[in-house]
Chains A and B, each alone.
Chain A
């Protein structure tokens, strides 16, 4: 009997050891295990720690300065920031799923933010909103008009051209029609350069391009998406969507030998090192382009969508925004930090100098990037349209992108792509 008891005690002890080991491991694994970089140390004894998760790949050093300034003003507060440019969506989803929700985290506007809206603090009636541009707030709103996030920076996308090649070939007037685009391609090819290097391996790039041909449908992206959701608008109905395939043909015909092997990195490398003249990307890639070759000059070229005189499209919007966890123990502090990040002088400096982008908060500061500066001209002159692809259903970018890859490979016709795309939207 004694022996039995001893055995039981042993087992119980080992079990309890095992479970404490498990739970201990669970707590400590909230650190940078997923490959992120921790900006500051982990929690200290009695102080408060605010956790932040972002998908940022650059400008994080300047962001650290913002954090330092905030910590100086709030002794005892620590900030634990993780920046995860890769697999961010998956990591955030599993963190939220397991109840380990960061105090502040970023999401893309539209359906991604909607997914997390039940965890998000609602900013709709907060005083801080007056510091932001109306168009930025508009882009961040949910379809029901609520605002559960604060916008970060404007991001713009269109074709990005290697200005040096364009100058050398002697193209002074950017094409505004698809036939004009074809002529430009012919000229560039005749000069011995590859005209296009579109990142066709990355489905999202093709989805971005496709969104240019959806955008002219209406001034409000919400309106377009609502019509598609309601079944009153299909891709085949749209005025310009079928022209997408004409431009796709050009991208393949005047692209590199293995178009489906080009990913975003190769695409940016090609245009930076003058191996190709035109890519499709946004002002977010300026830092990478500079890294590949700081000598090259770039500018934006709006995407021609037809031959009937419709203006070429330049899409500009808020891509990322910050969500504050509404049930966080440090909600007030987290809110204060977020406002500080987005509206303070040092925060603005982070966005304009570090990220080289146009802040969504009102400011006189100019962004320190050529592409962002040229984007600002399009925005100020009213020539830009809002993004619509962020409002598409979850993961629709990858799905329609894969269908467009099928078209580029010649295994689906334009009609088939439009039909499958509609089926996938509704499924």
Chain B
């Protein structure tokens, strides 16, 4: 990008600032001020209700980092979820997008099918899956005897992980598919043609030409799927309540519990601050890494 030259006698910066003031005021009101207040509350021992707050300095940080088993467990679960979710949802979305980027009529129908779960609210989806995994699977088990249906997909700590990942992927794959389809269709036809002339077909063409050109889409999809999985909350709230035995508690759900169930507001704000820094770091590194892989032919 070229730097724009300043025209003599004008001060575009001041105008820009002036016009962005309303927007800035909104951002300050909705994001910046709450964030600073968050910073402030993290220094207090406060139950979130009382008018009395005790200043404790960094004691909350020490407690959260050294003596909080549930927080540690929630970090492990969130990381486990993130790894599997980000990989699965992106690989599947690319596969589906590749298959459906041909302009056959049936492809259009399937695109809608894949996208529908994404427009249903997560709460409704969780309730539907609760029904399928509970009574639905029980009936199937009675009818078929397959042990797959007899497993307690929501009631066993090792299985609930896969259930949560599966439902999240199932819901979100359509959204990422749309971005990847846009990526595939914007691949220049002449490049593809040239590759064909050079003898690259099928998988080679996909691997060597289409995938590298898809990199901008991959960057954005990885970024959104990363932030989605870090902030995972609604499906946990409705489907598992963090259980059984706390095994599916995500960081966001743990923070929510601290603030609104334990009434430890100071601890909750401390955790959300630490969490914010961690998410920021990871996403910045991710963006840098993926951007460096983007190519143009």
Contact = CB atoms under 8 A, between A and B. Distances in A.
Interface string A63-101: 000000000000000000000000001100110110000
B216 interface: no
Contacts of A201: 154-155, 241, 243-244
A154 B50 CA distance: 28
A384 B26 CA distance: 57
B143 interface: no
B263 to A, nearest CB: 5
B51 A409 contact: no
A194 to B, nearest CB: 12
Contact of A411 (B22, B150, B245, B263): B245
A18 B26 contact: yes
A11 B18 contact: yes
Contact of B157 (A118, A395, A411): A411
B38 interface: no
B48 A97 contact: yes
A260 B152 contact: yes
Given A201-B155, A260-B156, A116 B245 contact: no
Interface stretch (A344-352, A368-376, A399-407): A399-407
Given A115-B49, A411-B245, A7 B18 contact: yes
Nearest to A257: B150
B25 A115 contact: no
Contacts of B25: 15, 18-19
B34 to A, nearest CB: 12
Nearest to B24: A15
A115 B263 CA distance: 9
A261 B245 contact: no
A93 B156 contact: no
A402 B49 contact: no
Contacts of B157: 409, 411
Interface stretch (B110-118, B165-173, B222-230, B254-262): B254-262
Contacts, number: 94
Contact of B152 (A203, A261, A403): A261
A402 B261 CA distance: 14
A97 B49 contact: yes
A118 B262 CA distance: 18
Contacts of A118: 50-52
Contacts of A405: 243-246
Nearest to B15: A7
Contacts of A203: 241, 243
B49 A394 contact: no
Contacts of B155: 200-201, 258-261
B146 interface: no
Interface string B50-74: 1110000000000000010000000
A266 interface: yes
B200 to A, nearest CB: 51
A147 B163 CA distance: 47
A8 interface: yes
A6 to B, nearest CB: 11
A427 B262 CA distance: 11
Contact of A96 (B49, B133, B150): B49
B18 A8 contact: yes
Nearest to B17: A11
A373 B157 CA distance: 41
Contacts of A402: 243-246
A294 interface: no
Interface string A94-116: 10110000000000000000011
Contacts of A96: 49
A104 B74 CA distance: 37
B152 A258 contact: yes
Given A93-B49, A93-B260, A266 B134 contact: yes
Interface string A247-266: 00000000001111100001
Contact of B22 (A14, A94, A115, A202): A14
Contacts of B243: 201, 203, 260, 402, 405
B118 to A, nearest CB: 24
Interface string B268-296: 00000000000000000000000000000
A127 interface: no
Nearest to A412: B245
B245 A403 contact: yes
A297 interface: no
B47 interface: yes
B263 A93 contact: yes
A305 to B, nearest CB: 24
A93 B18 CA distance: 39
Given A93-B260, A97-B49, A402-B243, 9 more contacts: A8-B18, A97-B48, A118-B50, A201-B154, A201-B244, A203-B241, A261-B152, A394-B261, A409-B245
Interface of B: 15, 18-19, 21-22, 25-26, 29, 47-52, 67, 133-134, 138, 150, 152, 154-157, 241, 243-246, 257, 260-263
Interface of A: 7-8, 11, 14-15, 18-19, 22, 89-90, 93-94, 96-97, 115-116, 118, 200-203, 257-261, 266, 394-395, 398, 402-403, 405-406, 409, 411, 427
Top 4 A-B residue pairs of the complex, sorted by shortest distance between their CB atoms: A260-B155, A258-B152, A405-B245, A261-B155
17 contacts: A11-B19, A11-B21, A15-B21, A97-B48, A97-B49, A115-B50, A118-B50, A200-B155, A202-B241, A260-B155, A266-B134, A394-B261, A394-B262, A398-B257, A405-B243, A405-B245, A409-B245
